[in-house]
């Protein structure tokens, strides 16, 4: 058994370089974000479930995997679920991977990630924390059970203070909800002040069933978003905003990021020419991987 390769879709504008992907938990994430895309996959429906078997498998997986590509943790269910405090599956897997010198790409919304900074110092690691807004009223609507924006900002600062590359994912950008330029400016300014290296943004890409659920829970927001996405198209199970609408959002927000001298990337938008760095943070450990990308 080897580490699973991240299967970047051939369509859908993904520009990720080769890497591995490890989901330490399955089921619906406890953060309960309204925009969750993982629910389109059968393994990520239902209550959060710890993958306890990984604790017996991870050593063999690391030993049997020769190419030292980065390992992303994780692309679906957040690796720092509340259950992680008890089970420590993510930490124990990270310890094994670090021992075998695999670079780590950590992607989370949880400030629990700061517990494991000692592990991340043992191997090249990039920590990406999603912060969609500084406004608590918006965050509590779109990410009702995730740690508050303030806690996530504090976590990013702790990561940066340890000289571990910190990336902020302002993802998703949802039109009329968190795309206000003044709010975005305030967020990016805060990120720059605390030592974040890069901002990665992506527009919301709803999965099937999103709009019908939103119509029941918030008819006003449903009407607004349904109209905005009406002229978009479905790509591999996600509803994309119209291409021109996506372009306008990037052209509005990108200069704000660059003004603060941060790296900028968009994820699966189809405008990689706007990127100054790789969207997943691989830029900061790529010098170790050149042999595999030639």
State pLDDT tens for residues 76-97.
889 999 999 999 999 999 999 9
What is the reported pLDDT for 128?
Answer: 98
What is the reported pLDDT for 42?
Answer: 56
Beta-ladder partners of 129: 108, 168
CA count, 13 A, side-chain hemisphere, 223: 2
Sheet with 71-73, side-by-side order of all strands: 20-21, 71-73, 104-108, 125-130, 166-173, 198-203, 263-266
Provide CATH code, domain 20-289.
Answer: 3.80.30.30
> Per the structure block, which two tokens stand in for 218?
């918030």
The CA distance from 159 to 222, in Å, is: 37
What is the reported pLDDT for 73?
Answer: 97
What is the reported pLDDT for 27?
Answer: 85
What is the reported pLDDT for 206?
Answer: 96
What is the reported pLDDT for 294?
Answer: 46
The CA distance from 254 to 34, in Å, is: 25
- Segments of the chain scoring below 70 in pLDDT: 10-12, 41-45, 286-294
């Amino acid at each position: 058994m080897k580490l699973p390769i991240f299967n970047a879709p051939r369509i859908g504008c993904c520009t990720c370089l080769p890497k591995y992907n490890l989901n330490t938990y399955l089921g619906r994430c406890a953060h309960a974000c309204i925009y969750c895309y993982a629910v389109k996959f059968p393994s990520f429906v239902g209550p959060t479930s710890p993958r306890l078997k990984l604790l017996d498998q991870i050593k063999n997986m690391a030993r049997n995997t020769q190419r030292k590509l980065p390992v992303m943790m994780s692309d679906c269910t957040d690796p720092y679920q509340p259950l992680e405090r008890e089970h420590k599956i993510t930490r124990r897997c990270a310890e094994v991977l670090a021992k075998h010198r695999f670079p780590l790409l950590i992607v989370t919304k949880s400030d629990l990630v700061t517990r494991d900074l000692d592990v991340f110092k043992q191997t090249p690691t990039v920590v990406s924390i999603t912060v969609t807004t500084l406004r608590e009223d918006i965050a509590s609507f779109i990410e009702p059970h995730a740690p508050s924006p303030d806690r996530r900002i504090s976590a990013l600062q702790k990561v940066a203070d340890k000289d571990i590359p910190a990336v902020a994912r302002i993802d998703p950008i949802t039109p009329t909800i968190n795309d206000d330029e003044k709010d975005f400016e305030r967020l990016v300014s805060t990120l720059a002040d605390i030592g974040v290296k890069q901002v990665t943004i992506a527009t919301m890409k709803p999965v099937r069933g999103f709009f019908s659920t939103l119509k029941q829970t918030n008819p006003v927001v449903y009407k607004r978003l349904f109209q905005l996405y009406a002229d978009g198209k479905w790509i591999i199970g996600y509803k994309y905003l119209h291409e021109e609408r996506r372009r306008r959002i990037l052209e509005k927000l990108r200069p704000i990021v660059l003004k603060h001298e941060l790296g900028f990337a968009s994820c699966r938008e189809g405008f990689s020419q706007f990127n100054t760095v790789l969207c997943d943070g691989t830029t900061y450990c790529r010098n170790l991987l050149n042999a595999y990308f030639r």
